[in-house]
Structure 1
Amino acid sequence: MPIIKSESCYRTKLLLTHRRNLKAKFLDLENAIRHSLKAFGIRLGKVGRGAFEQAVRTAVAEDPLSSELMDAMLSARAALWRQYCRLHDLVVKMVARSELCRRFMAIPGVGPVTALSFMTAIDDPSRFRRSRDVAAYFGLTSRRWQSGLDRRSGSHTKAGDADVRRSLYEAASGLMTRFKGRDKVKNWGQAIAKRSCHRKACVAVARKLAVIMHAIWTDGTFYVGDPAASQADAGRRAHDKARKLLGAHR
């Protein structure tokens, strides 16, 4: 029997989908501009998003036709970016109003998009009898083949919602590479990376995060990643992070 989610979940999913689409189109335009300049031997190199437009205009300033073409492309790029930021602000405001999403964001690496995507995809946590079943729902468990007594495991199944799986993977990668504090899940993932590879370690950490986030949802608790910290410390950090998030959008 198909699972019918709430109307609010479908609306939120639509917001996340359109936000992702606008960002993809924005990046497509940037890449098209870079490719066009490369045809004339112009390579922009590493240019920040804010300095990109000025760098392009400077590069084609001596060629009237190229300057006109790039002006049209840059105007379209700016319009896409404004609308993307508009939808991203809606996402952040929704997360700021959600106590559950703010608890999710106490986990290092988990940002507004990951928190809202996970909450929207699950909708009702009681659908899963065990928290570890959530990882399989998002395709983060290994494929298995069996022929007689021969059993083999392959890469993860990639079943379920690809956007949530991608968000969890990015959160895991952020926890593994950008978070500088102490964290037991990070240490666990780094141990896997040493004996295997970074990609497999990120998949394993993403699977662990999905299980942890569902457990946090059902238990009403906070994430405590530092073995020396208490749940009260974790709750205070989550409150401070939420206050900054709310303050930015009042």
Structure 2
Amino acid sequence: MEYFAGLDVSMEETSICVIDQEGKFVLETKVETDPDAIFAALRPYAERLRRVGHEAGSFSPWLQVELQQRGLPMVCLEAYHARSALSAMRNKTDRTDAQGIAHIVRTGWFKQVHVKSEDSYRLRLLLTHRRNLKRKFLDIENAIRHSIKTFGLKLGAVSRGQFEERVRELVAQDSLIAGVVDCMLRARAALWQEYLRLHKLVVAVVSKDEVCRRFMGIPGVGPISALAFKTSVDDPGRFRRSKTVGAYLGLTARRWQSGTSIDVSGHISKAGDGEVRHPLYEAANIMLTRFKGFSSLKAWGLKIAKKRGHKRACVAVARKLSVIMHAMWRDGSTFRFKAAETQEKPQGKRAPKLLAATA
């Protein structure tokens, strides 16, 4: 008889539920959130366990790798998909969630999540904290700008390098305001210095990565876009077709269809990793606005911009970029600015006329 297990993981404890192939409960318990403790609870059933399911979360990369190394058939479930199934339960507890996950993996009605490699998570940590420092830096800058408006002090348009000097000049007449703003400016300067350190580290990592360097041969694609895409995809072989990468990153339209009267294509789904989608959108915008050279992709995007608007064109080009970058990664090619020209071979009785027309 085969067994199926569900794990509901929290910070301190993990609820475990084991059921047989008929859905009967075999084991329900709670253990410490630790691979050794979880494996010890499942050890008596390890030989006949077919699937051990857990939702994607903060601990899922760690538990997935550790428990797989111990020989358990781990399955990481997409949280959105699992939550929809678990919402049918009458009560919401850790115990019932573990029961629901066990039933999900027993029936096979689930969407498995790809758990990325440790190297990808390490590089994503670098990108995440770089982004966090930049956001905090901008938050402090905007807080200073808006707080002094209360006293009629208008900062106006000012460059980043002249920001501190201009602010100190405006608040110099009031010692209290000047003291408060001085603390904020020093915090801003410290954040900026640490942000630059992380940004230089990103550039250093990308400069040593052959795949990222090829990505940066695409107009508009910089080190952030290249590294974000590489760490998100992680393994190009897990996509059978490059076209599916756009859907994976949430850059394709959602569809509502029911019967014969309703069939609507809406906005993009925004599924997947938004921290990759945003850099790709920025890269597309740079290609369409700042890049002065010719590119077949740019020409295609400008045609869409004339018909549908600039924002839709940026989304379309971003989706194309994801497809192109995956194809480049998979076959080791470089970006071609101009599409390959193909000449149709004349066929049938019309061949002489076509040849004559092109002579």
TM-score, normalised with respect to structure 1: 0.89
Q: Does 1:116 align with 2:232?
A: no
Aligned mates of 2:326, 2:113 — CA distance in 1: 21
What does 1:137-216 align with in structure 2 at a 5 Å threshold?
137-149=248-260, 150-216=262-328
For structure 2, list consecutive stretches of 5 or more residues without a partner in the other structure.
1-111, 341-359
- Choose from 146, 162, 167 the match for 1:35: 146
Q: Which amino acid aligns with 2:221?
A: V
Aligned to 2:30: none
Deviation at 1:172, TM superposition (A): 0.5
Aligned mates of 1:185, 1:2 — CA distance in 2: 32
3-state SS of 1:153 partner: strand
Q: Which amino acid aligns with 1:49?
A: R
Aligned mates of 2:156, 2:307 — CA distance in 1: 35
- Please give the per-residue CA displacement for 1:70-90, whole angstroms capped at 9, x wherever unaligned: 110000000000111111111
- Please give the per-residue CA displacement for 1:117-163, whole angstroms capped at 9, x wherever unaligned: 00000110000000000000000000011111232100000000000
Q: What number of residue pairs does the alignment pair up?
A: 228
Aligned to 1:56: 167
For structure 1, list consecutive stretches of 5 or more residues without a partner in the other structure.
229-250
After the TM superposition, which segments of 4 or more aligned residues of structure 1 sit over 4 Å from their partners? none
Aligned mates of 1:132, 1:175 — CA distance in 2: 20
- Please give the per-residue CA displacement for 1:106-125, whole angstroms capped at 9, x wherever unaligned: 00000000000000001100
3-state SS of 1:143 partner: strand
- Choose from 314, 325, 335 the match for 1:223: 335
Aligned mates of 1:200, 1:4 — CA distance in 2: 31
Q: Which amino acid aligns with 2:264?
A: R
Deviation at 1:2, TM superposition (A): 2.9
Aligned mates of 1:226, 1:37 — CA distance in 2: 52
Deviation at 1:62, TM superposition (A): 1.3
Aligned mates of 1:39, 1:187 — CA distance in 2: 48
Aligned to 1:125: 236
Q: Which amino acid aligns with 1:213?
A: M
Structure with the higher fraction of residues in strand conformation = 2
Aligned mates of 1:178, 1:163 — CA distance in 2: 22
Aligned to 2:192: 81
Q: Does 1:14 align with 2:125?
A: yes
Structure with the higher fraction of residues in helix conformation = 1
- Please give the per-residue CA displacement for 1:38-63, whole angstroms capped at 9, x wherever unaligned: 11111111111111010111111111
3-state SS of 2:285 partner: helix
Aligned mates of 1:185, 1:32 — CA distance in 2: 40
Larger Rg: 2
Aligned to 2:343: none
Aligned mates of 2:200, 2:217 — CA distance in 1: 20
| Greater relative contact order, per chain length (Cα 8 Å cut-off, separation 6+) | 1
CA RMSD of aligned residues (A): 1.1
Aligned mates of 1:64, 1:30 — CA distance in 2: 20
What is the percentage of aligned positions where both structures have the same residue? 61
Deviation at 1:227, TM superposition (A): 5.6
Deviation at 1:180, TM superposition (A): 1.1
TM-score, normalised with respect to structure 2: 0.62
